A and B are shown apart, each in its own frame.
Chain A
Amino acid sequence: MNRGAASLAQKAGFQTDEKALIRAAQEGDQDAFGQLVRAYDQSVLRLAMNLLRSPEDAQDVYQEAFLRVYRNLNHFRFDCSFHTWLYRIVTNLCLDQMRKRKVRKEESSQMEGSEGPVDRMDTFQESRPEGDPQRSMFIGQLRERIQKAMAELTARERMVFELRHYQGLKLRNIGEILGTTEEAAKNCLFRATQKMRVALGDFV
């Protein structure tokens, strides 16, 4: 069996297992529900943390999303994949949170430093202290510019970019999650990358 076929078989096997897990969880099997959570919760937390740039808000989204899954799992009828259903819940919660922030004009991850605003989430990016101050200064400035450019995107543009670039989802799947067409998701991604390219200017 070639790699592609093996991967397809593996995926098919996982989907069968997942269906069995969902059915068991629907019948009240707590262990099965726990396995479903562990299969997806790291991606969910990463998505929320990257979008909201606040560990506390990301944890709130995590809790609320999985509690909603827990409460409504009996209504899940396999009309779409479990992943799509879960991500619909998560993306809606994140979009709500992002829109609320826009209204409040709140930028929760920014703190005032001696050289201007500093992103509190920098502390979650693993990096060892080392030499070459010029390189580290460049990386810091680039990071700041990208974060500023991302903050200028609309909530939907930010979401589509996050799902495509960082979560690696296909535009068709993103459209399904966000309740829109593949074409609309593609346009949204295009606008997002154009805006960021302009904002970064000759930096990259």
Chain B
Amino acid sequence: MNTCEKVRMQLGLLLYGELSFDEEETVDAHLESCAECRAALERERELHAAFDAQEIEPPASVLWESRQNLQRQIAAEHSPSPRVSWWDQFLDARWLRSAGALALLSIGFFGARMFPSLGLGITGMSMVDPGAQRVRSVEPGPNGGIQIVLDETRQRVVSGGLDDQNIRVLLLSAAKDPSDPGLRYETVGILNDRAQAAEVRDTLIYALEHDENAGVRLKAMDGLRPFVKQPEVRKALSGVLLSDGNPGMRTQAIDLLTQGVGESTNPALGRDIIGTLQELMNRENNAYVRQRGERVLQLVNASQETY
């Protein structure tokens, strides 16, 4: 094996920084004098860059779900007794349990922060008062005293069903809280069970169009699934198809907008949806999404793109 062959076998390890000091010295010295091996090093770099592009970053929603499941399993293992609690017996329906849990654990903070006067109107309310405080300003007062202005945030626990208007108002606000995607995800999941109400549907459409977290957007899309025939929902889904950065979202949007196409009870596909799909074909670069769009256009005998 000549020197060039030996060096080329080590180029990969050189890029990974896995050669010994002496090996790296030998390779570097050879590269200085050999143009062909330098070109081979460039090709090795391109190969590494191509590998880099393959990496998949797990979506936030998958990580979130995994953490939730782990927490549940550990809580189950940790639980000293398998007996069913009064809470489980009482709140049998799953959505109601989630709603109750969220109301008890999470919403109290919003209740105090955004609707300080709301508490009186909420039934079954209890108070938890850790007394969070922040000094807003400090001034010397009369007679050597000090005047301190405090901002106070009180945590308050509220509970109630989804039919309770106060609870619903809190949930609609929590669904838009920019600081906590986990809270938005849970809240949208709960609101999905009440999407027949116009105000809830509007919030889900807002989340679908504007939430920066793909997991929350996907959850909102789930809630809108039964209302796909409504014009405002179709419009929002068309927007997702053409502008959402997440290919998984675009795939789901195609599926929703074209439900039932190709089945025996073949519903007609509106011209607006066909136009949106053709527009998508003009710009889509994800192979899987393209394939889904193409399949639908073939089924309705429409051309693949607009020209």
List chain A positions with a Cβ less than 8 A from chain B.
Answer: 30, 33, 37-38, 41-42, 45-46, 49-50, 53, 55, 58-59, 62-63, 66-67, 70-71, 111, 113-115, 118-133, 135-136, 139-140, 142-144, 146-147, 150, 164-166, 170-171, 186, 189-190, 193, 196-197, 200, 204
Contacts and interface: CB of A to CB of B under 8 A. Distances in A.
Nearest to A161: B51
B294 to A, nearest CB: 6
B67 A41 contact: yes
Contacts of B77: 67, 70-71
A67 B74 CA distance: 7
Given A122-B247, A186-B13, A186-B18, A140 B287 contact: yes
A147 B292 CA distance: 21
A37 B280 contact: no
B68 to A, nearest CB: 11
Given A122-B286, A122-B288, A190-B12, 10 more contacts: A30-B78, A49-B62, A125-B56, A126-B57, A130-B285, A146-B54, A165-B48, A171-B16, A189-B13, A189-B18
Given A42-B63, A62-B70, A123 B291 contact: no
Interface residues of B, number: 50
A33 B43 CA distance: 45
B176 interface: no
B231 interface: no
Interface of B: 9, 12-13, 16, 18, 43, 46-48, 50-59, 62-63, 65-67, 69-70, 73-74, 77-78, 242, 245-248, 250-251, 280, 282-289, 291, 294-295, 298
Contacts of A42: 58, 63
A45 B54 contact: no
B63 A127 contact: no
B18 to A, nearest CB: 5
Contacts of A146: 50-51, 54
Contacts, number: 155
B285 A129 contact: yes
A121 B43 CA distance: 27
Contacts of B288: 111, 113, 118-120, 122-123
Contact of A114 (B246, B286, B289, B295): B295
Nearest to B55: A166
Nearest to B249: A123
A129 B284 contact: yes
Contacts of B47: 193, 196-197, 200, 204
B4 to A, nearest CB: 16
Contacts of B55: 46, 50, 166
Given A70-B74, A113-B288, A124 B57 contact: yes
B250 A129 contact: yes
B151 to A, nearest CB: 27
A58 to B, nearest CB: 7
3 tightest Cβ-Cβ pairs between the two chains A and B:
A136-B285, A113-B291, A129-B283
Nearest to B65: A59
28 contacts: A37-B70, A42-B58, A46-B55, A46-B56, A55-B58, A55-B62, A63-B69, A70-B74, A71-B77, A111-B288, A113-B287, A114-B294, A125-B247, A127-B285, A129-B242, A129-B284, A130-B283, A142-B50, A143-B53, A143-B287, A146-B50, A147-B54, A164-B16, A165-B51, A171-B16, A189-B18, A190-B13, A197-B47
